[in-house]
């Protein structure tokens, strides 16, 4: 075994991590890297990508419209991330706006509104139809009633974003609409943390924005996850980093999952850029 292979260097980067890391990446040039990629992880808010997928599947099939109005009621209320919980019951928003909030600020109330609108069984059937055999939405978000929200694997998460990148969900147009929402996501806990910020910030640099991310992260006591598509001038690649079984369940920016995950993301980024669009 090459002790300086990309896989070996990833393992070396996370040698001191107290937990377990699952990893999946694809450069779309025939190189897939996976470490514990079929292990099951608590999804946390990463399950919201599959709720979005079900919405856009139903939009594609003409069953619902992005302009359908959804009403925020008391039964949707839940603590945690998002802004809708601070609004008044009876507030109405169109389905696309609710979905956008669910992704870009990981709004938990928006998620419950969409789960009720779309149906848990429909969401899970879509995951099965996509070949994501280890991905399940167990419940609405209710931290007092349920311990589990969702289950997925780094591989399933990666396969979802691969299909999205290739325009296979369920048309090129529908896929692109979802990508544009993922690009506006506010919480890149691992993927961009260690990347050169200059390439991500055209507003402040005045220079061309060379790197873009379409992603969704998720965190609960049992896990810290991040995954999506990294766009570069050489093309795009999918990267998914999931963690569990770590010592520290507290939530803060310097959590070891974020630190070690960011190191792995930067290692992959540098390899991809250095080889001008491939991992190997």
Q: Computed over its alpha carbons, how large is the radius of gyration of the chain? A: 18
pLDDT at 79 over 90: no
> Are 189 and 261 part of one and the same domain?
yes
- What pLDDT, in 10s, does the model give residues 21-33? 999 999 999 999 9
Alpha helices in 14-153 (DSSP H): 48-60, 95-104, 108-118, 120-129
> Are 28 and 78 part of one and the same domain?
no
The two three-digit tokens of residue 152, written as one number: 């997925």
Last residue of a domain, one of 152, 177, 205: 152
Min mean pLDDT across 10-14, 35-39, 149-153, 163-167 is at: 10-14
Beta bridge partners of 40: none
The pLDDT score that the predictor gives to residue 205 is 76
Cα-based distances in Å from 162 to 50, 128, 218, 227: 14, 16, 19, 11
Residue 145's CB: how many other CB atoms inside 10 A?
8
Count of domains for the chain: 2
Residue 218 lies in a domain: yes
> Are 60 and 74 part of one and the same domain?
yes
> Are 75 and 99 part of one and the same domain?
yes
Residue 179 lies in a domain: no
> Are 76 and 92 part of one and the same domain?
yes
Name the residue among 100, 77, 79 with its Cα closest to residue 89: 77
> Are 18 and 56 part of one and the same domain?
no
Residue 223 lies in a domain: yes
> Are 111 and 25 part of one and the same domain?
no
> Are 145 and 45 part of one and the same domain?
yes
Residue 108 lies in a domain: yes
pLDDT at 82 over 90: no
- What pLDDT, in 10s, does the model give residues 235-264? 999 999 999 999 988 887 888 899 999 999
Q: In the structure, what pLDDT confidence band is assigned to residue 121 with cuts at 50, 70 and 90? A: very high
> Are 118 and 46 part of one and the same domain?
yes
Residue 177 lies in a domain: no
The range of the structural domain enclosing residue 119 comes to: 41-152
Last residue of a domain, one of 152, 174, 209: 152
CA dist 173 and 223 (Å) reads 33
Ranked by mean pLDDT, which of 11-20, 91-100, 193-202, 220-229 comes out on top?
Answer: 91-100
Task: Enumerate residues 6+ apart whose C-beta is below 8 A from 224.
Answer: 44, 189, 190, 218, 242, 243, 246, 255, 257, 258, 261
CA dist 10 and 68 (Å) reads 45
Last residue of a domain, one of 152, 169, 194: 152
Residue 174 lies in a domain: no
> Are 199 and 261 part of one and the same domain?
yes
Q: In the structure, what pLDDT confidence band is assigned to residue 1 with cuts at 50, 70 and 90? A: low
Q: What is the CATH number of the domain that holds 198?
A: 3.40.710.10
CA dist 112 and 58 (Å) reads 17
Residue 29 lies in a domain: yes
* Averaged pLDDT for residues 82-110: 94
Pairing of strands 136-137, 32-35: unpaired
The pLDDT score that the predictor gives to residue 200 is 85
Question: For the chain, what percent of residues have pLDDT higher than 70?
Answer: 99
Min mean pLDDT across 16-20, 152-156, 228-232, 234-238 is at: 16-20
Residue 176 lies in a domain: no
> Are 49 and 35 part of one and the same domain?
no
> Are 57 and 136 part of one and the same domain?
yes
- What pLDDT, in 10s, does the model give residues 162-221? 999 999 999 999 999 999 999 998 887 799 999 998 888 767 777 788 999 999 998 888
């Amino acid at each position: 075994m090459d002790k300086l292979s990309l896989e070996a260097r990833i393992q070396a980067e996370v040698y001191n991590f107290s937990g377990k890391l699952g990893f999946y990446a694809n450069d779309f040039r025939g190189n897939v890297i996976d470490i514990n990629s079929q292990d099951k992880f608590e999804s946390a808010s990463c399950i919201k990508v599959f709720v979005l997928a079900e919405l856009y599947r139903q939009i594609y099939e003409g069953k619902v419209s992005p302009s359908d109005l959804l009403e925020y009621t008391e039964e949707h209320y839940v603590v945690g991330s998002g802004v809708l919980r601070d609004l008044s019951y009876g507030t109405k928003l169109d389905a696309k706006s609710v979905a956008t909030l669910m992704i870009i600020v990981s709004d938990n109330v928006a998620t419950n509104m969409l789960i009720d609108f779309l149906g848990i069984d429909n969401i899970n059937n879509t995951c099965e139809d996509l070949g994501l055999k280890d991905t399940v939405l167990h419940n609405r978000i209710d931290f007092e009633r349920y311990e589990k929200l969702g289950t997925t694997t780094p591989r399933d998460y990666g396969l979802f974003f691969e299909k999205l990148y290739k325009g296979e969900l369920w048309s090129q147009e529908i896929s692109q609409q979802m990508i544009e929402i993922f690009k506006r996501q506010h919480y890149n806990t691992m993927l961009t943390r260690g990347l050169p910020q200059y390439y991500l910030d055209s507003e402040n640099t005045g220079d061309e924005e060379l790197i873009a991310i379409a992603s969704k992260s998720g965190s609960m006591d049992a896990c810290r996850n991040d995954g999506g598509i990294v766009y570069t001038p050489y093309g795009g690649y999918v990267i998914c980093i999931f963690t569990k079984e770590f010592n520290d369940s507290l939530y803060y920016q310097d959590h070891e999952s974020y630190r070690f995950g960011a190191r792995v993301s930067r290692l992959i980024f540098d390899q991809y850029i250095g080889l001008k669009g491939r991992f190997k």
